[in-house]
Amino acid sequence: MSHHLVETIDLCFSYPDSPPALNGVSLRITHGESVAVVGGNGAGKSTLLLHLNGLLTPSSGQVRVGDIPVTPKTVARVRESVGMVFQQAEDQLFMPTVREDVAFGPLNMGLPPEEIRRRVEQALRNVHAEALADKMTHHLSGGEKRAVSIATVLSMSPDILVLDEPSANLDPASRRTLISLLRQFTHTKIIATHDLDMVMDLCTRCIVMKDGSILADAPVPDIFADRSLLEEARLEQPLSYLLMRQERQRNNSGAS
């Protein structure tokens, strides 16, 4: 894929017998960006993400990854480039052991056994889960499942990592580990989340959704400075933003 752009053009989608879940979403994300997708419950975040690697097909409009339109014909190629980490780890992990789950993607890509072994080891090392390799996936804790879910995607060496609620249900230490892990992934990241403190930590750009449309798309500090926008989107200023602003005010008053 020439350059790892993700683009949606006037994307609309309705689930069967339901009102539209996406209403003309257009966005363009370029290589290396770290983008948060935020909004209240039911705003359309997961539905948008599921279009990015062809798990849902638009009712109208288009999704493009690089120069390839995402269609049933291109979807296998697109999924080598766009790695999706689902909201529920149970949707991601379906093989008996961790090692088999992490090997599943590379195996499907038709890679030689030695390369598969190398990728599995590397991906597990990246998420600090080497010790879990031979465990049964259904015996893992929530945090371990999340780490292994990410490894199943990293083993395919994606250019674009798409994560739906990656920090949900993690204890503070596991959440912190996840954030530092994601920080090390320097390719494009697209993260749907309610964890606005994590957005402060990881993202530079923030897309705010409401009722299946984009309400705002701007640098993270600009979004968090706009209280009426946040209220309209059923969001609140995160603590880390308030602390950062307080610190700046203190420094400014100290300097004057």
The residue ranges that bind ligand ATP (CB under 6 A) are: 15, 18, 21, 39, 41-47
- Minimum CB distance to ligand ATP, residue 20 (Å): 9
Instruction: Confirm if 204 and 219 have CB atoms less than 8 A apart.
Output: yes
CB of 28 to ligand ATP, least distance (A): 20
- Work out how close the CB of 17 gets to ligand ATP at its nearest, in angstroms, rounded to a whole number: 8
User: Of 41 and 252, which CB lies nearer to ligand ATP in the complex structure?
Assistant: 41
Report how far residue 114's alpha carbon sits from residue 106's, in angstroms, rounded to the nearest whole number. 11
If we measure between CA atoms, which residue out of 109, 89, 194 comes closest to residue 155? 109
- CB-based contact 35:189 (threshold 8 Å): yes
Q: Identify which of residues 46 and 97 has a Cβ nearer to ligand ATP in the complex.
A: 46
CB closer to ligand ATP out of 46 and 237: 46
User: For residues 137 and 193, which CB has a smaller minimum distance to ligand ATP in the complex?
Assistant: 193
Residue indicated by tokens 């912190």: 176
Say whether 21 sits in a helix, a strand or coil: strand
Residues recorded for the chain: 256
CB of 192 to ligand ATP, least distance (A): 6
